[in-house]
């Protein structure tokens, strides 16, 4: 009876781990999509309205970024600290690109800033598309592999 209870606990832990990893991947895709929206908004505000970055950040609203605390940091401290606050949520290459973007934005003419936004947005869109294409396979993998590992462990124990 004790072995069955242990087996149940191992399967429950494996299932919860797999679900947690699935949520992490979905959240990462949501962050990339929301940042793509932010950069689109920044581009339009810089090119069409010629607004300063502080005003752009004050006017921008996104429920997901607000939920994770990104918007508060963006308005209080600026883009670079806000990007740093979500480093774990981003793929490494996108994080590096956004750090470079945050360090460069605000230092040139409106047309240069728009080009910089376009370049960064293109990278975010490409990464987002890749993540969307890989999402079903990754979700399946994270649902099945922990359960298979749990089953293997239980076969060795029992």
pLDDT in tens, the chain (158 residues): 777 788 888 889 889 999 999 999 999 999 999 999 999 999 999 988 888 999 999 999 999 999 999 999 999 999 999 999 999 999 998 999 999 999 999 888 888 999 999 999 999 999 999 999 999 999 999 999 998 888 888 888 77
Whole-prediction pTM = 0.88
| Tally of structural domains, the chain | 1
And the tokens for 114?
């728009």
**Percent of the chain clearing pLDDT 90 (strictly above):** 73
> According to the 3-state scheme, what is the secondary structure of 59-93?
HCCCHHHHHCCHHHHHHHHCHHHHHHHCHHHCCHH
pLDDT in tens, 12-30: 988 999 999 999 999 999 9
Query: Cβ-count burial of 45 within 10 angstroms (0-12 exposed, 13-18 middle, 19+ buried)?
Result: buried
Domain extent at residue 18: 2-157
């Amino acid at each position: 009876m004790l072995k069955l209870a242990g087996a149940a606990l191992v399967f429950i832990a494996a299932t919860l781990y797999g679900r947690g990893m699935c949520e992490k991947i979905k959240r990462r895709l949501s962050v990339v999509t929301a940042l793509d929206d932010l950069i689109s908004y920044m581009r339009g505000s810089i090119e069409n309205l010629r607004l300063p970055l502080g005003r752009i950040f004050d006017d921008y609203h996104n429920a997901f970024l607000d939920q994770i605390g990104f918007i508060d940091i963006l308005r209080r401290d600026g883009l670079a600290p806000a990007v740093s606050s979500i480093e774990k949520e981003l793929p490494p290459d996108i994080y590096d690109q956004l750090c470079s973007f945050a360090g460069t934005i605000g230092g040139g003419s409106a047309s240069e800033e728009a080009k910089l936004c376009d370049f960064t947005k293109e990278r975010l869109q490409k990464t987002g598309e890749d993540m969307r294409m890989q999402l079903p396979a990754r979700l399946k993998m994270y649902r099945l592999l922990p359960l298979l590992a749990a089953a293997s462990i239980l076969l060795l124990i029992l």
